[in-house]
């Protein structure tokens, strides 16, 4: 990183892990090691805050208020409040989360949905850069997150992991997230059948111009993307599982 590079810190809170790094915002890459701790069982607000403090401590920025901080969270985020809770404690529903983190960390933060910030990272520094039309980024992890980006502008809080499969069959993410593959010990081929259903459904609903696939499993995209038969081009996120950290940091600086 150049001595004068703009930097900010990004924290990406997920259903399974909390990841953080210092980001070089000129290049859109990590300028530090990536730090990760498990998401505390039950993901209660106080425990998540303590875990965020731990990752900031490890990065050596817990008390460095000169560096901007962005925090991404796996829920609908509107006006600083979390309005849903799929893979975290129900206490987050209707919770003043941004203020809670700001008070607890003793500093201002930028707070947003995890998939949305991954979308921002891919627009600024990755697979969606310069793309016209509708880009749908999905993250395949504990849940399925989504970011809708139209002509480079994010339409926040799309929540396409909660598309319903059919009456009483439940959320798409319970069936097709990466966690479903792990939980049910599916082969790549078996999981790809579920993704085939998911992406063709989203394709029919939105007619996107590009799909981007993020989440940790995107580093193995050659195992499952070639198995999908859809019309829309589908590519892995350039920043793979770091897109959340990079996007959170990018938004922190504006």
Residue 254 CA to residue 251 CA, distance in Å, equals: 5
From candidates 16, 32, 39, 113, binder to ligand BGC by CB under 6 A: 113
Residue 18 CA to residue 202 CA, distance in Å, equals: 28
- Using DSSP, state whether 88 is helix, strand or coil: coil
Taking residue 142's Cβ as centre, other Cβ atoms within 10 Å add up to: 24
Tell me: does residue 212 bind ligand BGC (CB under 6 A): no
CB of 238 to ligand BGC, least distance (A): 19
State which of positions 154-193 bind ligand BGC (CB under 6 A). 159, 161, 173
Q: Which one of 58-66, 113-121, 203-211, 217-225 is the stretch in contact with ligand BGC (CB under 6 A)?
A: 113-121
CB of 18 to ligand BGC, least distance (A): 12
Nearer to ligand BGC, 20 or 61 (CB): 20
Does residue 201 come out as left (phi exceeding 0), alpha (psi in the -120 to 50 range) or beta?
A: alpha
Closest to 111 (Cα-Cα) out of 130, 87, 142, 83? 83
Nearer to ligand BGC, 25 or 140 (CB): 140
Residue 248 CA to residue 110 CA, distance in Å, equals: 7
213 Cβ neighbours under 8 A, 6+ residues apart: 137, 138, 139, 140, 221, 225, 234, 235, 236, 237
Nearer to ligand BGC, 61 or 141 (CB): 141
Tell me: does residue 87 bind ligand BGC (CB under 6 A): yes
Residue 74 CA to residue 163 CA, distance in Å, equals: 16
CB of 66 to ligand BGC, least distance (A): 30
Tell me: does residue 143 bind ligand BGC (CB under 6 A): yes
Residues that bind ligand BGC (CB under 6 A): 14, 74-76, 84, 86-87, 113-115, 139, 141, 143, 145, 159, 161, 173
């Amino acid at each position: 990183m150049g001595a004068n590079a703009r930097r900010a810190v990004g924290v990406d809170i997920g259903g399974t892990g909390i990841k953080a790094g210092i980001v070089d915002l000129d290049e859109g890459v990590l300028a530090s090691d990536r730090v990760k701790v498990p998401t505390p069982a039950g993901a209660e607000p106080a425990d998540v805050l303590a875990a965020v403090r731990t990752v900031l401590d490890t990065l050596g920025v817990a008390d460095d208020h000169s560096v901007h901080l962005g925090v991404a969270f796996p829920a609908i985020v509107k006006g600083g409040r979390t309005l849903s809770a799929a893979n975290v404690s129900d206490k987050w529903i209707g919770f003043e989360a941004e203020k809670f983190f700001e008070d607890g960390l003793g500093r201002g933060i930028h707070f947003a949905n995890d998939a949305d910030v991954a979308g921002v990272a891919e627009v600024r520094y990755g697979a969606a850069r310069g793309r016209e039309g509708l880009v749908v980024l999905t993250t395949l992890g504990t849940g399925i997150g989504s970011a809708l980006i139209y002509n480079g502008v994010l339409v926040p809080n799309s929540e396409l992991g909660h598309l319903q499969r059919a009456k009483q069959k439940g959320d798409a993410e319970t069936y097709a997230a990466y966690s479903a593959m792990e939980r049910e010990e599916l082969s790549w081929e078996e999981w790809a059948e579920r993704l085939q259903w998911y992406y063709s459904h989203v394709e029919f609903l939105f007619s996107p111009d590009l799909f981007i696939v993020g989440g940790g499993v995107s580093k193995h995209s050659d195992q499952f993307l070639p198995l999908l038969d859809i019309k829309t081009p589908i590519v892995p996120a350039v920043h793979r599982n770091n897109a959340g950290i990079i996007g959170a940091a990018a938004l922190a600086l504006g």
